[in-house]
Amino acid sequence: MTRRSQASVKRTAPAAGAAALLEQTWRDPPGLVGWLSAINHKSIGRRFIVSAFGFFVAGGLLAATMRLQLARPDNHLVGPDLYNQIFTLHGTTMMFLFAVPVMQAMAVYLVPLMIGARSTAFPRMTAYAFWMYLFGGLMIFAAFLLGMGPDAGWFSYVPLAGPDYGPGKRNDFWAQLITFTEVSGLLISIDIITTVLRLRAPGMTFARIPLFVWAMLVTAFMIIFAMPAVMLGSTMLIMDRLVSTHFFNYAEGGDVLLWQHLFWFFGHPEVYFIFIPGLGFMSAIIATFARRPVFGYPAMVMSIMATSFLAFGLWVHHMFATNVPELGKAFFTAMSMMIAVPTATQIFCWIATLATGRVNFRTPLLFVLGFFFILVIGGLTGLMLGSVPIDLQVHDTYFVVAHLHYVLIGGAVFPLFGAWYYWFPKITGRMMDERLGKWNFWLFFAGFNVAFYPMHHLGLAGMPRRVYTYPADMGWGPLNLLSTVGAVTIAVSVLLFIVNAVRSRRHGAIATDNPWGASSLEWAAASPPAAYNFLAPPVVGGREPLWEASKDVGAPTYVTGLALDVREALATTPLDARPDHRYIFPQPSIWPFVSAVATTIMFIASIFSPWAIVWGSLLVAVPVTAWFWPKRAETEKHLALEKRP
Amino acid sequence: MSARGLTCIVAASMLALLPAACDRELRKLSKPQSGGPVPAIGDKPVGMQPGQPGPGLQETSSARTYDGQNAYELNQGKRLFRWYNCGGCHAQGGGGMGPPLMDDKWIYGHEPDQIYDTIMNGRPNGMPAFRGRIPQEEVWQLVGYVRSMSGQASPAAAPGRSDGISASPAEARRTRENPRTTGPEPPVKTP
Amino acid sequence: MNAIQNALQSAGPQAAQIEQLWWLTLAVCAIAFVPTLGALLWSLWRAPRATEATPADTAIVSQPERRTRSVVVSAVVISGIGLAFLLLASVRTDHALAQLPLEDALNIQVTGHQWWWDIRYDDPDPSKIFSTANEIYIPVGRPVVITLLSDDVIHSLWVPNLHGKKDLIPGQTATMQIRADKAGTYRGQCAEFCGLQHAFMAFTVTALPAADFDAWRAAQLEPAAQPTDEKAKRGEQLFTSGSCMMCHAIQGTTANARMAPNLTHVASRRTLAAGTVANTPQNLAAWITDPQKIKPGVNMPAHHLPGGDLDALVTYLGTLK
């Protein structure tokens, strides 16, 4: 389908009547089968965001149960067996089923809109990735409800998670969940990278890519480099457990610490690919509500890239308590300190933006300001953990629990909630309620600090993490109770968010196309956007397309000449976004869904028998073949287009 | 059926799983209030044995009994097999001074009750009696594990490979032997 | 909050070094935090207010903002200097931790088990080696080298008042050097998640003046006292002929298994079940009868002993000072 494009960029808007035809071409088919066949990036993105939020709530309920158990010493609300499953599933859910996927979900919805495209590059693959993610998440929760939730912690250290000390199938479900999320995460990353590199609006050169898109691009690359490590690790783990390999058996030449290296080589970058999208939300929201572009665009982009590189050099700071040579430790301490520089740079740039802008205090901005307070504390405690001697004291204590929640909730969840308030009008066409939003923010902010700040003190006072209870005479009771009060406050604030979202979706004020007066391209589409996103795909002439006049004097402002009755779009060159060729997107199809079902059957069956990989591969081959089977009618249509000039 | 209907069905079926908790994965950490009856087994030691049964340990009906398809119980059995040095005679199941435990031949029977009897009361020619030495519930755990050595437990519940040097395949990877009782060897006649 | 398990109440040079570094780092971090948040609040306070309708300020896009740039660059440079300072301090402390003088060091080997600590006092003279469990005694002012091993999964030894933690990894040997300069009892507990009873895998380190330590050591080297009265004799018989000896050892009797804590001087210990309950006859009886109730998941089985036998066993164990 690649034909050199010939002057497909015009200066005129398309004719009236084109909208109806485009809608017909790009919409998802009706009915249940149609719903399961949907491949439009906005349908998949919406489902993805809602599912991830569902897992966030489920993970939150698990956390609330833990906080109730720890509210007083010697509590017997849940026993050690259930508690271990709960904290393992809480961590696993929040990291693998919420934090990473929700960022990718936001990207699936927003990136094509922000770069003026009509779809993600591989829409069927996007759908497949979403279903894989959903089925994996449902599998692990089904296992938990059936009393076989994983119980070795979200990083499943061997030998505790291995065959000798982790009887039953509990940790096999964990290892297989990793496989599900890997498949999903890697596919979405490939999708995002290709989308950003090839489908940007003409004129959107590298120097004009919105900071959020930059963040998602860098994140996608990080996922591609980091995730194979844990995929290897979890595959070795399930093989040790299922077919008696000896990867982690020291007596037969394996190594216990190998697991930790593999896991943290993924696990530490993971923190950053949760955090970097958060930085993207920050930049988008701050620019809009400070009414000026973010200060220091080149510094911001370089900082994101520097963070992504350095993130791969500090995994050992999770392992300082094992036998690491002195010089090695000094290197990883240095890396842990150095990574603070790009983050500090971005924080200073945002403060400079706010200082020189004119500030519009709305709910999204409040969440962003919450980020500053919380993340800066989290970042500074991170420096402490990066220092070997201090880490030896506070490692694996509640200090770490406090730190990681300050970083992840402050660095990712606060900007994410801000992002939900910010893009809700774009996604639903209605505004969220401001008053409820402010209550939501203040309760979340207060509850968060009440819940997690005391944990710093608990950690220094010797409370290790992952204990299901503690003796009364340790004196940890009062601060734990306070922490539980904070957790309940967070729960109330999230409930307010749900109420706000559900009510606003029905009864909120109707949103205009650009309700916040923002600068990026998604605000040029309708609210909610039509199936085809843009009636005429835009041509970009500057970094802030909706704010400034095009700098490319004489350049056209729309792309025209694309077919209306076929899913045709203009692909551009990776660096300069010059028109390159016309590309025809695939039609909706049920086969990605069926393939995901088949893959799920294979993955779950392979927990119980290695032979499932053999017959499961055949099972998966059938729908995947059907998925890629060429259709005569489509090919003819494409050939007909070939003949056009 | 709408998408929302589908979502509701998925959510409802997830919750429906709750009462169907998996017995294989259960961990009964504190003993149940009322246990099953203790199977009727001859309580007199049989024949001569090198070890003397210990005094004092009472057998009660409230103790846990046999659960040969529970992963945790089987794994505990495996640990006790190591702790009590069963391997000293039986090796890792392949047998040595004592008979192999991973084949299809059972001198005194493969039924849980029979194995319980063998451990508790001992057998002629070397198997000591462990009555009074090993508490009842641990004996049942050992019974489950010993059966898993010849593939009598489901592969989903039987232990995986050990963290150690393994001479034989993991219990979960053993082929299921078809057990048959061979009876004791006839005594060698002296001319 | 309790002082006996606290990283900020150091009782020895190692923990003191770390504590110093902690306060220094905290100060530097506070110096970074206050101006950053101050700058943010100040910016928000003095920035003009706007609404969605306010036209965006795009004039600045094409012209460099020199003043802002120099402020941001200086802030980044200052942060860099602060970080370099912290790095230097951290590496220096780390170096100092490795330099604890080890002349005349006491050698102890600690093996982690699910969920208790096996403690062996090493000596060049084999007759002076002995084992105990969950309670470490060390002399004040004398360095101690602890060798760390694990019998099953990964554990982590941590006595915050004396030093940071070190993992006990199966298949590997690690060491840890500590010294207590203040007499006292310091509590620690396993810091690496190790299964069902991770929460109750505690231990204590008691630092005694040299003379007291030597006396303690001499007492520990003694085999168990021979029971004198009938009840205790019955208890000993129960112990050595029943199920206890399958896992436990008592020096001077036939019980010498090493699966569970060595009980030679169990009556001299403060707690039972690795710091779970106080060592009283009532708790001991309850522990023997139904350990799962006290520590669910523990590998100690329940023992259904007739009342008189239980009493005799508890009495006998009570004589093992």
In contact, A375 and A403? CB cutoff 8 Å: no
Residue A574 sits at φ, ψ, to 5 deg, of -60, -45
**Gap between the Cα atoms of A410 and A449, Å rounded:** 10
Average pLDDT for residues B40-58, to the nearest whole number? 43
Asked if the C-beta of C80 comes within 8 angstroms of chain A's C-beta atoms, the answer is yes
pLDDT interval class at B132 (50, 70, 90) = confident
Beta-carbon separation of B173 and A252 below 8 A: no
The closest alpha carbon to B84, from B138, B40, B13, B140, belongs to: B138
A639 pLDDT above the threshold of 50: yes
Average pLDDT for residues A124-140, to the nearest whole number? 97
User: Any idea of the CA torsion for B7, B9, B14, B19, to the nearest 10 degrees?
Assistant: 160
pLDDT interval class at C295 (50, 70, 90) = very high
CA neighbours within 13 Å on the CB side: how many for A290?
A: 29
Q: In this structure, are strands A9-10 and A558-559 parallel, antiparallel, or unpaired?
A: antiparallel
Mean pLDDT across chain A: 93
Average pLDDT for residues A447-470, to the nearest whole number? 96
How far out from the chain centre does Cα C196 lie? 18
Which is more confident, B35 or A64?
A64
pLDDT interval class at B66 (50, 70, 90) = confident
Alpha-carbon radius of gyration of chain B: 20
In contact, A341 and C80? CB cutoff 8 Å: yes
pLDDT digits (tens, 9 = 90+) for A277-292: 999 999 999 999 999 9
CA-based nearest residue in chain C for residue B84: C246
Q: Give the DSSP letter of residue C127.
A: G
Reported pTM = 0.93
A9 pLDDT above the threshold of 50: no
Neighboring chain C residues of A174 at a CB cutoff of 8 Å: none
B17 pLDDT above the threshold of 80: no
Q: Supply A89's token pair.
A: 């599933």
Asked if the C-beta of A519 comes within 8 angstroms of chain B's C-beta atoms, the answer is no
* DSSP-assigned states of every residue in A433-477: PHHHHHHHHHHHHHHHHHHHHHHHHHHHTT-BSS-S---GGGS-H
Beta-carbon separation of A145 and B6 below 8 A: no
A179 pLDDT above the threshold of 60: yes
Q: Of the ranges A437-446, A515-524, A545-554, which one carries the lowest mean pLDDT score?
A: A545-554
Average pLDDT for residues C270-299, to the nearest whole number? 93
Of the candidate CATH numbers 2.70.160.11, 3.40.50.150, 2.60.40.1930, 1.10.760.10, the domain formed by B62-162+170-191 belongs to 1.10.760.10
Average pLDDT for residues C6-13, to the nearest whole number? 94
Secondary structure (3-state) at A368: helix
Whole-number Cα distances in Å, A598 to A373, A413, A590, B112 = 46, 33, 13, 40
Q: What is the pLDDT of residue B190?
A: 56
Q: Give the DSSP letter of residue A127.
A: H
Q: Supply A242's token pair.
A: 């299922």
Beta-carbon separation of B71 and A147 below 8 A: no
pLDDT above 90 coverage of chain B, percent: 36
Beta-carbon separation of B160 and A159 below 8 A: no
Q: What is the pLDDT of residue B65?
A: 74
**Gap between the Cα atoms of C313 and C289, Å rounded:** 11
Q: Which chains touch A (3 or more CB pairs under 8 A)?
A: B, C
Q: What is the pLDDT of residue A556?
A: 81
Distance from CA of A57 to the nearest CA of B (A): 13
**Gap between the Cα atoms of A597 and A36, Å rounded:** 12
Q: Supply A194's token pair.
A: 């290709």
Map out the domains of chain B as residue ranges.
62-162+170-191
Average pLDDT for residues A477-496, to the nearest whole number? 97
Q: What is the pLDDT of residue C8?
A: 93
Beta-carbon separation of C90 and A461 below 8 A: no
Q: What is the pLDDT of residue B185?
A: 66
Q: What is the pLDDT of residue B44?
A: 36
Neighboring chain A residues of C67 at a CB cutoff of 8 Å: none
Beta-carbon separation of A322 and C195 below 8 A: no
Q: What is the pLDDT of residue C64?
A: 76
Asked if the C-beta of C29 comes within 8 angstroms of chain A's C-beta atoms, the answer is yes
**Gap between the Cα atoms of A255 and A262, Å rounded:** 11
**Gap between the Cα atoms of C158 and C148, Å rounded:** 11
pLDDT interval class at B182 (50, 70, 90) = confident
CA-based nearest residue in chain B for residue A51: B7
- Residues 164..193 of C with a Cβ closer than 8 Å to A: which? 164-167, 169-172, 174, 187-193
Distance from CA of B54 to the nearest CA of C (A): 4
Q: Of the ranges A116-120, A384-388, A515-519, B152-156, which one carries the lowest mean pLDDT score?
A: B152-156
Map out the domains of chain A as residue ranges.
25-524+587-633
Q: What is the pLDDT of residue B35?
A: 36
Average pLDDT for residues A259-273, to the nearest whole number? 94
In contact, A393 and C165? CB cutoff 8 Å: yes
Neighboring chain B residues of C239 at a CB cutoff of 8 Å: none
CA-based nearest residue in chain A for residue C19: A390
Neighboring chain A residues of B83 at a CB cutoff of 8 Å: none
A412 pLDDT above the threshold of 90: yes
Beta-carbon separation of C305 and B56 below 8 A: yes
A87 pLDDT above the threshold of 60: yes
Asked if the C-beta of B72 comes within 8 angstroms of chain C's C-beta atoms, the answer is no
Average pLDDT for residues A485-510, to the nearest whole number? 96
Q: What is the pLDDT of residue B40?
A: 34
Q: Of the ranges A204-218, A487-501, B157-171, C282-296, which one carries the lowest mean pLDDT score?
A: B157-171
Name residue A548's amino acid. Answer: E
Asked if the C-beta of C50 comes within 8 angstroms of chain A's C-beta atoms, the answer is yes
Beta-carbon separation of A148 and B22 below 8 A: yes
Q: What is the pLDDT of residue B38?
A: 35
pLDDT digits (tens, 9 = 90+) for A108-120: 999 999 999 999 9
Q: What is the pLDDT of residue A94?
A: 96
Asked if the C-beta of C72 comes within 8 angstroms of chain A's C-beta atoms, the answer is yes
- Residues 107..166 of B with a Cβ closer than 8 Å to C: which? 132-135, 137-138, 163
What lies within 8 Å, CB to CB, of A377 at 6+ separation is: A406, A410, C33
In contact, C163 and C178? CB cutoff 8 Å: yes
pLDDT digits (tens, 9 = 90+) for A57-86: 999 999 999 999 999 999 999 999 999 999
Neighboring chain C residues of B63 at a CB cutoff of 8 Å: 302, 304
CA-based nearest residue in chain C for residue A546: C56
Average pLDDT for residues C20-47, to the nearest whole number? 95
pLDDT digits (tens, 9 = 90+) for A14-64: 566 888 999 999 999 999 999 999 999 999 999 999 999 999 999 999 999
Mean pLDDT across chain C: 93
- Residues 15..74 of A with a Cβ closer than 8 Å to C: which? none
pLDDT digits (tens, 9 = 90+) for A364-384: 999 999 999 999 999 999 999
Q: Which chains touch C (3 or more CB pairs under 8 A)?
A: A, B
Asked if the C-beta of C59 comes within 8 angstroms of chain A's C-beta atoms, the answer is no
Q: What is the pLDDT of residue B47?
A: 33
pLDDT above 90 coverage of chain C, percent: 88
Q: What is the pLDDT of residue B173?
A: 87
Selected for mutation to probe chain B from C243, C289, C299, C311 (highest B CB count within 10 Å) is C243
Q: Of the ranges A161-170, A493-502, A551-560, which one carries the lowest mean pLDDT score?
A: A551-560
A144 pLDDT above the threshold of 90: yes
The CATH code that applies to domain A25-524+587-633 is 1.20.210.10
Q: Of the ranges B19-33, B171-185, C89-103, which one carries the lowest mean pLDDT score?
A: B19-33
pLDDT interval class at A5 (50, 70, 90) = very low
Asked if the C-beta of A241 comes within 8 angstroms of chain B's C-beta atoms, the answer is yes
pLDDT interval class at B43 (50, 70, 90) = very low
A1 pLDDT above the threshold of 70: no
In contact, A309 and A344? CB cutoff 8 Å: no
Beta-carbon separation of B25 and A148 below 8 A: yes
